[in-house]
Structure 1
């Protein structure tokens, strides 16, 4: 049977005029490496869950994205990271929020799913579980880059809203359907620049930013989390695919219309149980890529790339 892997590296003001040739090449290369990592798992007969984790871990380590190293900084200049995974076979899920020392938040989310009786851990408890579970630890400064320091300084100097400075959400995610017909999703993010008071967006919230169900589809989102939370985007898309029989593209369009009506923007990637995949975004661009078992590969950044 065939397999499909789709990934994203954030949506927002991703435009040719705002992107240097060097940054364009670096982002495309990183998306290609992530496809290689996840695709190798699927090509070897591995499961969708292993594939999405492998792909997202690559993007977490790449500072061109807002996840792991290179994550957006809080108002106090630190990194607080969120991630989630979901396995469509039995709707098993794991999520973490506001973790500060785990090199791969998506790996920690999977550990929560597989090694704890819980689904969602946050803050100091999630950090403690990470250490006890043997997840790789780093100093919080390892996540911080000069570019993200500059983003924060600009925001604080202007007294601006986080979305005014960012508008390039940079969250990373992956969805996959493996050769056995199972689907899975994973999402990882640093949130928004200048976030305060322990803010958590949609990415680690099961049903909002991440969802997978073998009866319907797998979904990973990127965008203005406050709006995606209010719509329950990921679950809403799956419900339309599973209960109404809509194609993934149709379901995404309908749900993103609700987000737009509320004032939010962003993007979504979806793969259905039959391998049908779609991406949609309501921003100028979204870092995205897809690979299938027939060898077809596509990497795109801008809106005019389709």
Structure 2
């Protein structure tokens, strides 16, 4: 019997309402989600590595202005772009992460390079920039990342004195637009990757859970791969991705039970809105959320494709 392969992705969770979603925006989102999950799956079908599959999937969303990562990243209080990303490979528990980076078209590639070509796990800001330069990364002008939508969001947030995606005129802006992917390859390797632009109007070099191993990203062979999206301050405090993995490892909970316990337990009680994608060693996929929606897609071990937005789908 062949080792199964599967992949799941997310493009952010939060208040996403049908009545506010235009047909045009819905189609654009669904099309990009499907393009993303198929990009990762194509790597797996060719016998490629799970880590490479997650990178391929995440890059599609980083290159799209629809998601809060890469090109569509939100703006800081200083009207700049500061991006975070992380990746973890389950075979040897290797990981790489970057935070507060600027001018890198695909932050997930830099996180992967930190994992593979440095002695470190986590690089930030100017240090991460210097490392990128040493590795031959091309830098793009900041104008590449900035969209009119994000400028309007920032102005709205500044007027209200807020720092998150809420009370905006766009139908899906009360969501946490992190993107992520989890994958299982033909060799039985699990991997997870996460990328984000953070929160609108953030200050002081704020960093959320996305680049933090064990909070926003986790993968270990024989157990589970996890990528989260939500209110980063809460997801850090609850160590969401690592907690899910620990429940499976020590309590022998299946991926569905563990994911629901984590998302709907103490995290939700303390105000931690969001969701996660999780994939176990058999290729079983689970999406968990305590919000009205999460942009998500998957291709299971049978090759079935699903692309969804709302929690009740």
TM-score norm. by structure 1 comes to: 0.98
State the Cα distance separating 1:143 from its structure 2 match.
0.8
The residue number in structure 2 matching 1:57 is: 59
The residue number in structure 2 matching 1:47 is: 49
CA distance in 2, matches of 1:240, 1:105: 30
Q: Deviations over 1:13-66 (max 9, x none)?
A: 111112111110000000111112101000111111110010001100001000
CA distance in 2, matches of 1:293, 1:39: 11
CA distance in 1, matches of 2:163, 2:267: 19
The residue number in structure 1 matching 2:275 is: 267
Structure 1 runs, 4 residues or longer, greater than 3 Å off: 163-166
The residue number in structure 1 matching 2:239 is: 232
Task: State the secondary structure of the residue aligned to 2:72.
Answer: coil
CA distance in 2, matches of 1:154, 1:115: 41
Gaps of 5+ in 1: none
The residue number in structure 1 matching 2:299 is: 291
Q: How many residues align?
A: 305
Q: Deviations over 1:125-154 (max 9, x none)?
A: 101111211223211221110000011010
State the Cα distance separating 1:164 from its structure 2 match.
3.2
Pair 1:142 & 2:135 matched: no
CA distance in 1, matches of 2:141, 2:127: 17
The residue number in structure 1 matching 2:257 is: 250
Question: Contact 1:9/1:288 (CA < 8 Å) preserved in 2?
Answer: yes
State the Cα distance separating 1:217 from its structure 2 match.
0.3
Pairwise CA RMSD of aligned residues? Answer: 1.0
Question: Contact 1:15/1:285 (CA < 8 Å) preserved in 2?
Answer: yes
Question: Contact 1:217/1:242 (CA < 8 Å) preserved in 2?
Answer: no
CA distance in 1, matches of 2:253, 2:92: 22
The residue number in structure 1 matching 2:211 is: 204
CA distance in 1, matches of 2:247, 2:152: 41
State the Cα distance separating 1:293 from its structure 2 match.
4.2
TM-score norm. by structure 2 comes to: 0.95
Question: Contact 1:107/1:135 (CA < 8 Å) preserved in 2?
Answer: no
CA distance in 1, matches of 2:111, 2:244: 22
Question: Contact 1:221/1:268 (CA < 8 Å) preserved in 2?
Answer: yes
CA distance in 2, matches of 1:120, 1:304: 37
State the Cα distance separating 1:215 from its structure 2 match.
3.1
State the Cα distance separating 1:295 from its structure 2 match.
2.0
CA distance in 1, matches of 2:165, 2:272: 10
